[in-house]
Structure 1
């Protein structure tokens, strides 16, 4: 499955590896022949020069085998690491194209495991496999050919040893292979528990839930450990089994040889038989070594196959959100968003989250959404950005269905501020200018965006200013500071559409008011979409859309809705007093 991602250059290297292995096996199998000659020379009174000459040839063959092995290992490592690098890049790129639906299907913890642990398993299997899988059958097959014309009793003993090894290996694989797949999923579970614990550490401590989390992690860890122990113990049986088989084979060959030599007449013939026995034993050990190499593969390969299948699942998954063809708005664009009888339900769900949603947002307008929790406010934002596609109806931007835009073109029109501010490791400036390095006046634009977001004071008070370090996730600054930098990032982009998904919740009322006043000037020629829980944030919106259980309960300005929409009136009176309403 995975080898189809190898490039032509790497297949060429695999061909070279095969050639090096053939030469190495030839060197190794030539050594017993010279051992036979040395044994005969010693028995027949050969000179020391003749013995040393044969010995030097054996030494040269051994050195040549070493050089071939080093070249094979180097090239195999190169092929394996190149493949793993390519797989990581492909998997990362594929995940980048996933919609929320695919991310939810695999889970974040599983995606991380597949991009790290699983690819490492494949890399190890390829690196060793190229050396062992190719070498083992060549070595065993060639050695069998070498001994096939020898004494049939010795050949029969070797065949019995091979059958015993195959039976033992097959039995072990039958019980062990299913466990490898389970181990990969249990690794996902351990990663999921660790990730959950690290992300929620403050909540865990606040509720004194450390013991509960430890027990939860211990259960996942114990399951993983017990399965690893089972497979390790099962695989550990192979070494003593192979050692026993090799010892019994050596004993059998010597025992059979002793009987044959004893039954033979003539010292010269007996010497030749003794030399043949020593040579046969060397070849028989080469056959066993070939099978021992295959055992190494059997230890690594099953787990690597499971890992490869998990990687393939990612690479073969087609995103449900696909690119359109349009890269820019048509010349008649007038800057508007239109929802036309939009209905939506999440994949696999039976109930609609949104139903019959129709409205228009024009350039320069501020359109706000408000409603109870679960009314569908954030889902509307997801549909505009194509995190999901509508189930019914259509959404158009500048007269073009959002499904017809390329995702790059669509997202290029939008400045998005999420409900939970997301910052990235780097500096304040790199976070504000995130994803855009084309500005000729980047430093000046960053300062301007920070000023609009009412963040200048805290940025300039921070050691390092705009070059101050931001930790991954923005963990070294407060929630309000993260929100303001997230807003500055959207302002810096100068998009056609601003989307604020409950982006002012961490701000105090004074900063909120100042920020909205500055944003009103900055976004005068753009569409502003605001999702809010606080009525005070949307009082001045040009159009307020009230959602109730997925339906539009009312559309209008604040004062109009107070008289015509009971749902809005209830929300307002639950948050503001009569005195505040009259201001």
Structure 2
């Protein structure tokens, strides 16, 4: 047999390792001391790694929380800029889902995903560079399965992106369904529709569950794929490295080193799928957020802040069609309301009465015609300034989950308001006596949407909120429908004094006999059918006269 080839010393070619070996060389005969120094070195390196990891988490995760904070504020601020039509065409549940769930998913990308991505890329780069330095050919064989892995990740990511969009949309539907059920729980219970509503919720929930499970199944492809690639790489290393070691015994150390590197790569490569999935989900969520953030309000605010909004209000040939329904609400409407006049706008449901108030406050802009205040077009006023100086009491009462006092003073800018101002508004709205009967008076919490109050109490609190302001123009939109006749008469008597020096527009479907109106306008199908003073309209013997006689007879019989 030929003589075996003598073993040769393998050069390390690593300055740091060679330096460390040189430092340990004087004590290589002292086993205990050598092990102690190596153990302490490993411990110190582990502590340094932990400290750096802690600092990285503190930097990136905290940064992601700041990004989440800023993004939620940005979305909320943009929501408040959007016009009324936007809110009539988008559900509350969808908007809530975008500002919570979608923002949270984007935060997962800007925080954990980036952190793990940096960690993965650093570790992969470290291992691959050292593998190439040790044996470029063996490295090439070991990394051969990576193109298959890259193709798998690309294909699966495309599926995840589409499924993530679908899931977020279904989650919005589920949130909307739940929100409507909670808000309308009294209606649901009174009509005994709990089972039907549960059926709707269950259907949405099943759709969401099935799609979420489908996404989980797709994501589950990642980890077996990663494990397969790691196994193949390990197998290739041992197979090819073993063949090399048979011809050159110095390769044994390289093979061991490669196996260590492959094991080090196991977590980074496995986590690539998780990070990629997180990035795809965040991408889908950011796209949904951008849909709203890039939505421009149709009511452009390009006007100037004018100190006082006052003067004659003029509607000239105004036409308006609701964009979300196509209903032609106002047709060639012309009306002049002089400063200080009290005008009653009367009509049946759907005649266009409330639309006039919404156009005056620029919740919508008319498609045709002009609206001016003091000969200044509405578009020339800043929206904020215009609405601040018009006191508006809508027919749809909305109270916040806050104290009675804060609900009444909601429209005032200052944070703290004198109690006397709040009490005066409550007295004018004929609701103070009932407030004082509450356990905590003005500090009583009214509950979500005023759920703890009766319909009449909520309506009168809404009136008090409008009365506490002292603007030049006031608009009351059918705001006494939920109060009894005696309370209505008391409120109207108080209004008579309050409105003395103000321009007032009273929108209603009934006649207030205790108030003197300078002009009474009768609307039908968006057009003015009658106009004049009380006496003039009674002489015409039209709709107004008929309604007045009917109310008078009804009042006498009660």
TM-score after normalising by structure 2: 0.90
- The answer to whether the 8 A contact 1:153-1:256 is kept is no
The residue aligned with 1:576 is: 551
| SS of residue matched to 1:483 | helix
| SS of residue matched to 2:468 | helix
User: How do 1:324-339 residues align onto structure 2 when only pairs under 5 Å count?
Assistant: 324-328=302-306, 335-339=311-315
Are 2:189 and 1:189 equivalent residues in the alignment? no
The residue aligned with 2:200 is: 216
- Which of 540-549 and 253-262 deviates more? 253-262
- Which of 133-142 and 314-323 deviates more? 133-142
> In structure 2, what is the Cα distance between the partners aligned to 1:239 and 1:334?
69
The residue aligned with 2:103 is: 119
- The answer to whether the 8 A contact 1:31-1:61 is kept is no
Instruction: Kindly state the Cα deviation for residue 569 of structure 1 after the two structures are TM-superposed.
Output: 4.4
Are 2:214 and 1:230 equivalent residues in the alignment? yes
Q: Over aligned residues, Cα RMSD in angstroms?
A: 2.9
State which of 390, 395, 406 in structure 1 corresponds to 2:382.
Answer: 406
The residue aligned with 1:159 is: 143
The residue aligned with 2:4 is: none
> In structure 2, what is the Cα distance between the partners aligned to 1:334 and 1:559?
29
- Cα distance, 1:334–1:52 mapped onto 2, change above 3 Å: closer
> In structure 1, what is the Cα distance between the partners aligned to 2:417 and 2:330?
42
> In structure 2, what is the Cα distance between the partners aligned to 1:255 and 1:399?
91
Q: Which runs of 5+ in 1 are unaligned?
A: 1-29, 265-269
Instruction: Kindly state the Cα deviation for residue 533 of structure 1 after the two structures are TM-superposed.
Output: 1.9
The residue aligned with 1:488 is: 464
Instruction: Kindly state the Cα deviation for residue 481 of structure 1 after the two structures are TM-superposed.
Output: 0.6
- The answer to whether the 8 A contact 1:33-1:279 is kept is no
The residue aligned with 1:313 is: 291
The residue aligned with 2:55 is: 71
Are 2:435 and 1:467 equivalent residues in the alignment? no
Q: Deviations over 1:270-289 (max 9, x none)?
A: 2x322211212222334444
- The answer to whether the 8 A contact 1:72-1:131 is kept is yes
Q: Which runs of 5+ in 2 are unaligned?
A: 1-13
| SS of residue matched to 1:353 | strand
| SS of residue matched to 2:134 | coil
> In structure 1, what is the Cα distance between the partners aligned to 2:141 and 2:267?
16
Q: Deviations over 1:103-128 (max 9, x none)?
A: 23433221111111111111111111
> In structure 2, what is the Cα distance between the partners aligned to 1:557 and 1:32?
100
The residue aligned with 1:140 is: 124
TM-score after normalising by structure 1: 0.86
Are 2:83 and 1:99 equivalent residues in the alignment? yes
The residue aligned with 1:23 is: none
Are 2:280 and 1:302 equivalent residues in the alignment? yes
Q: Deviations over 1:229-266 (max 9, x none)?
A: 111122123223322332332233223333322333xx
The residue aligned with 1:478 is: 454
- Which of 106-115 and 545-554 deviates more? 106-115
What count of residue pairs does the alignment treat as equivalent? Answer: 541
Q: Deviations over 1:302-327 (max 9, x none)?
A: 11111111222222222111223332
- Cα distance, 1:481–1:184 mapped onto 2, change above 3 Å: same
The residue aligned with 1:323 is: 301
The residue aligned with 1:432 is: 408
| SS of residue matched to 1:403 | helix
